[in-house]
A and B are shown apart, each in its own frame.
Chain A
Amino acid sequence: MNIRSILSSRWAVLGGFALGAILLMGVAPAVLSDFRLGLLGKYLCFAMVAVGIGLAWGRGGMLVLGQGVFFGLGAYLMAMHLKLADAPASTGVPDFMALISSDGVPWWWEPFRSGAVTLIAIVVIPAVVAIVLGLATFHRRVRGAYFAILSQALAAAFAIWLIGNPRSTGGSTGLNNFKGFFGFSLRDPANRLMLYLIAAGALLAMIAIARQLMVSRYGELLVACRDAEERVRFLGYNPATIKTAAYTVAAVMAGIAGALFVPIVGIISPNDVGIVPSIGLLIGVAIGGRTTLLGPVLGAIAVAWAETSLSEQFPSGWTYLQGLLFMLVVAFLPGGLASLAPTLRDWRKHRRSDTAAGQPGVAAVPEGSA
């Protein structure tokens, strides 16, 4: 590769990034109504989770089925802070708690009166949970299906715990009816636009981080762990650390997404964090192409958009479609739509000349050993 092509590829990446920024932050707010922009903001939150899933699952081969937990941690932390900030100054007790009992605020809510503590916790708590769980499982070489089932069980336990504590978590209705966001009223369209722009900026930053991780030496190691974990270990690296790092990055991304989801959508409930929503987050990633950088983002946005528009008209139709998508895409197109073009190109090339040397499969998805 000569210096010119390196430059041009770098310019292409920067140009694409700038184009994405203009589309998301300039064009979309200009052409969409406030309501549609709010919906797009919600989709962007799912896309942030998808970036992390693409890194952990597509690149690292870890089938992360419990991302709803980290999404929920970020969301509930933010929601707790917003509820405390909304609470009447005389009592300091959020409205839903005052309705249920007169015991006051649980002790573990108290730290989140502070906005700074909340913002730090949104990053730190999902990261700590992911590091502990990741090291505990990967270090003992618990992987593959075992890890997938454990992450799923974590999502189930989290949702059951939330439902079982209505006094402190709002139970199955969750937390909702937020009025302000760090002093800005959520009624004001200008502030809602600001929230959307924060979400768009966060998504772009996450894509940039994920890209840098993917092209770095670390990204190579992560793919190597997916494809031949034992060989990585024999070369002197510790796969547990490598995989835990990717899992943690994915968890932090999901936590931030959840924290932005709360003020944008205005509600967080166990329905958004349990097993079904956690696995639901994966279908967009699978459709877009789990190993690519942009595939998960575009796939997640497309799936979330399809869900809103379809379930308005055919409530049960969406569930059938979601189920069929899982079956057909994962069984027959494991590389996602991103693999369609290279596969077709290969196929045509093979048909044209039998002498063509085997093209290395561009979008092959090897089964990870997680």
Chain B
Amino acid sequence: MEVLLTQLFNGLSGGSILLLAALGLALTFGQMGVINMAHGEFIMAGAYTAFVVQKALGDAGVSLLVSLPVAFVVGGLLGVVLEATLLRRMYHRPLDTLLVTFGVSLVLQQLARDIFGTAGVDVPAPAWLSGPLEVFGFSFPRTRVFILVLAIVAVIVLAALLKLTPLGRRIRATVQNRQLAESSGISTRRTDLITFFVGSGLAGVAGVALTLMGSISSNLGTSYVIDAFLVVVIGGIGQIKGAVIAAFVLGVVQSWVEYSTTASIGKVIVFALIVAFLQLRPQGIYVVRSRSLA
């Protein structure tokens, strides 16, 4: 029972990390169709932002809370620059955006290596997050609980943004029918930029959360971006709730498979499970019905 509960918590915790990494992709890939491989490097940029902020402030307790908004802006600005320079001319060739943004990710990784060095750097967790949290006799690491809460808050804020605000309405209108949105007076150009800003900013927030999990290095993003894409693929594009379910299911399955086998064979099994799942639901958990043949 205790093993089961610990594994379940590990799975939910892993799922919350996946979810943070995938939320931004659910916007940029799911809603806009851009396959942004540099998303992983935006996560890395967020993590290094936390590192720099902590160096500047010196106080671990405050700097974590300061770095969250700062990393959001850093990631968002990186995304806006990418969108405005390269991606805006490529919306009719979504597959090619993958290769272009892969080039961007190579450059950003090398930049990080040249600035911060090849060795990993540590961002110490604040004192109020050290040690375990005792609930009903079970202890959970506070850092992981914090990430879980952060992921849930991010989902709620994003869902509220999309459902309740005028901006969210504009974003959804642009995604559903670009021409109609445009003729209703929505600046789709500006909406695209803002969507990309929010999506990439979430990557920055995910980066800050990852600093709580261990040391950060230039290939931090590469290890998360593929799994994050898989979450969006399983969840089905165009729906935030699909990504939420997929992230937690994938997290629990991954932790369970890796617990019963080894980490390396676990990856292969999870991959086979995903291919098998796509046999049942080729477009993911939530399908947006449309009349197109694709």
Closest to A139 in B: B279
B275 and A330: CB pair below 8 A?
Answer: no
Which residues of A (291-337) have their CB < 8 Å from a CB of B?
316, 319-320, 322-327, 330-331, 334
A331 and B90: CB pair below 8 A?
Answer: yes
A218 part of interface (Cβ distance < 8 Å): no
Q: B-side interface residues toward A, CB under 8 Å?
A: 29, 33, 35, 86, 89-90, 92-96, 98-100, 102-107, 109-110, 113-114, 222, 226, 229-230, 233, 262-265, 267-268, 270-271, 274-275, 278-279, 282, 293-294
Question: Assuming A144-B94, A153-B230, is B106 touching A326 (CB within 8 A)?
Answer: yes
B267 and A161: CB pair below 8 A?
Answer: yes
Which of chain A's residues have a CB closer than 8 A to the CB of B264?
A: 160-161, 163-165
B103 and A63: CB pair below 8 A?
Answer: no
B102 and A137: CB pair below 8 A?
Answer: no
B268 and A156: CB pair below 8 A?
Answer: no
Which of chain B's residues have a CB closer than 8 A to the CB of A256?
A: none
Closest to A367 in B: B93
B271 and A148: CB pair below 8 A?
Answer: no
Closest to B269 in A: A157
A370 part of interface (Cβ distance < 8 Å): yes
A238 part of interface (Cβ distance < 8 Å): no
B100 and A326: CB pair below 8 A?
Answer: yes
Which of chain A's residues have a CB closer than 8 A to the CB of B103?
A: 322-327, 330
Closest to A322 in B: B106
Report the interface size class on chain A. 35 or more
Closest to B223 in A: A156
B107 and A368: CB pair below 8 A?
Answer: no
In the assembled complex, how far is the CB of residue A43 from the closest CB belonging to chain B, in whole angstroms? 21
In the assembled complex, how far is the CB of residue B217 from the closest CB belonging to chain A, in whole angstroms? 15
Which of chain A's residues have a CB closer than 8 A to the CB of B106?
A: 276, 319-320, 322-323, 326
A245 part of interface (Cβ distance < 8 Å): no
A11 part of interface (Cβ distance < 8 Å): no
Which of chain B's residues have a CB closer than 8 A to the CB of A165?
A: 264
Bound-complex Cα distance A146 to B284 (A): 10
Bound-complex Cα distance A105 to B191 (A): 60
Sample of 5 A–B contacts (CB below 8 Å): A149-B226, A153-B230, A160-B268, A230-B293, A334-B96
A37 part of interface (Cβ distance < 8 Å): no
A319 and B109: CB pair below 8 A?
Answer: yes
A164 and B262: CB pair below 8 A?
Answer: yes
Which of chain A's residues have a CB closer than 8 A to the CB of B95?
A: 61, 63, 144-145, 148, 367-368, 370
